[in-house]
Amino acid sequence: MSILLSVLIFLPIVGGIVTLCLPRDRHSLIRWVALAFSGVNLILALALLLLFSQTAGSALSTSIFQENIPWIPSVGINYSLDVDGISSLLVALTALLTTICMAASFRIEQKVKSYMAFMLLFESGMLGVFMSTNLFLFYVFWEVMLIPAYFLVGSWGGERRIYAVFKFVLYTALGSFLMLIGIIALGYFHQVAAGANCSYTLDLATLLNGRVDPTTGARICQANLSGDVQTWLLLAFAAAFVVKIPFVPFHSWLPDTYSEAPAPVTALLAGAMSKTGAYGFLRLCIPLFPQAIQNLAPLFNILAVIGIIYCALQALVQTDIKRLLGYSSISHLGVVMLGMLAFNAQGVEGSVLQMVNHGITTGALFLIAGFLEARTGTRKLSDFGGLAVKVPVLATVMFIVVLSSLGLPGLNSFTGEFLSLLGAFQSNVVYGTLGTIVVVPAAWYLIRFFQGIMTGPQQRTGTVGVMLRKGTLGDIRLSEFLIVLPLLALIFYIGLQPAPLTFLLHQSVIDTIHTLGTVLVK
């Protein structure tokens, strides 16, 4: 049995413990040790992705990475891990963003040991969510993920961090509690429907396909839940997932949390953690509750469309850079959900591809916002203007990332958005049309974002104006450029060559859609 998945999850925890054992005043050593652990984990995640790509589509791909150890078998709880094409990409994305955000965190001067340890624990929780195949284990990692996020925002955030983190915890805790009730109830209703001879289980594969009788070889303990049961269970699970995406009206925690968190933490929250909600829909809600998800798809599609349009309009009127990017993130994730809820191959493949693209682009945007704030001490758009003359390299990097977020052909987001909206059109012309409307306000607020900072008349007042007049505003440093360079490379690579990623995704997407019994669009 391979232990690669367990190593990926627990190596960051070991790194956090080692970091906490280092001398408190050795900040440089602490930073480099934490970065080394996240870097090794990134190498392992890329090795996992490479190994999976070599076996994708073969029988080996379904068994080579599985880990299954009895934990509390009397109540169907096992330590079960596995990956497919979808989760392997998200694991690699999480490991990459964590390493980049750790490198971007070298400016942190307060409580460095705790900060680095929490960042590593945060990575461990997210990786566990993407690899768990037992619902109780999924819930454990879901909660583990929230603990370091709470402390990272609450201890190292801005002036309104307590208010922001309180909202974050309130929303997520309520959703998580309802999901826990749903998990317990799902095991009960599955046992009732499967028959008296079948034990209580929370193993995802058993819940979906039953299990094989060791004596006869026949498949037993298969259960079909009634439509009403599926609906209530779906709503319980969705309560946790809609907060993480988030859907409007469950979104108000996000702009506050993103704006108050340190820039590297925000990049990790937006780039990786926000994908856990969409992943939960794809990995759990669609296969476990196929009838209910199709019945409630119009509701979720309407919420996605509202989020796309409403948050794009909100982004248009924001004066704070990070709040603008926060609303932009919600709007773009609405496109991800539209593609997923199309229930066809193009839409779901585009949805997963756009999860990856969104993580790359949004992570880069928040890091750039952090670079600007570190130089100037402000995030207000009105405080900027005409910076491109003084910081041409940073302006070029920012322009590339903005064009990526806009979905320019040849850059990464184009393929994901195109496939997502194509799938939405094929499923429902109205939703596809409404989803496409986002292109107009997105172009408006993103160009306003870039122009307001980099072009136009140079700012003459305030801190930025003084720095421009004195010539003290520095361009992007080599260390900062190296931090965003992997993201820039991926923006161009995926934009020009998305086929390797869609190849990895295809079989997993087909298997997911088959659970719905729908006709696939080839």
Domain ranges of the chain: 297-522
Handedness of CA 219, 224, 230, 236 (dihedral sign): negative
Instruction: Answer whether residue 58 shows pLDDT above 60.
Output: no
3-state secondary structure 459-476: CCCHHHHHHHHHCCCCCC
Determine the Cα–Cα distance for residues 415 and 370; give it in Å rounded to an integer.
Answer: 28
Question: Cβ(163)–Cβ(261) under 8 Å?
Answer: no
pLDDT in tens, 442-494: 888 999 999 999 987 888 788 888 888 888 888 999 999 999 999 999 999 99
Radius of gyration of the chain (CA): 23
Q: Is the pLDDT assigned to residue 16 strictly greater than 90? A: yes
Strand runs labelled E in 229-368: none
Residue 522 has pLDDT above 50, yes or no: no
Q: What is the pLDDT of residue 520?
A: 37
Question: Helix, strand, coil shares of the chain as percentages rounded to 5?
Answer: 75, 5, 20
Distance (Å, whole) CA 498 – CA 173: 37
When mean pLDDT is compared across 14-18, 216-220, 479-483, the lowest value belongs to 216-220
Instruction: Print burial letters for 36-63: b (CB count within 10 Å at least 16), e (below 16).
Output: ebbbbbbebbeebbebbbeebeeeebee
What is the maximum alpha-carbon separation in the chain?
A: 83
Strands 77-81, 67-72: pairing kind: antiparallel
* pLDDT value, residue 211: 77
Q: Which two tokens stand for residue 1?
A: 């049995």
Residue 60's pLDDT is 47
User: Are 247 and 277 contacting, i.e. CB atoms less than 8 angstroms apart?
Assistant: no
Instruction: Give the pLDDT band (50/70/90) at residue 56.
Output: low
| Higher pLDDT among residues 318 and 56, named by residue | 318
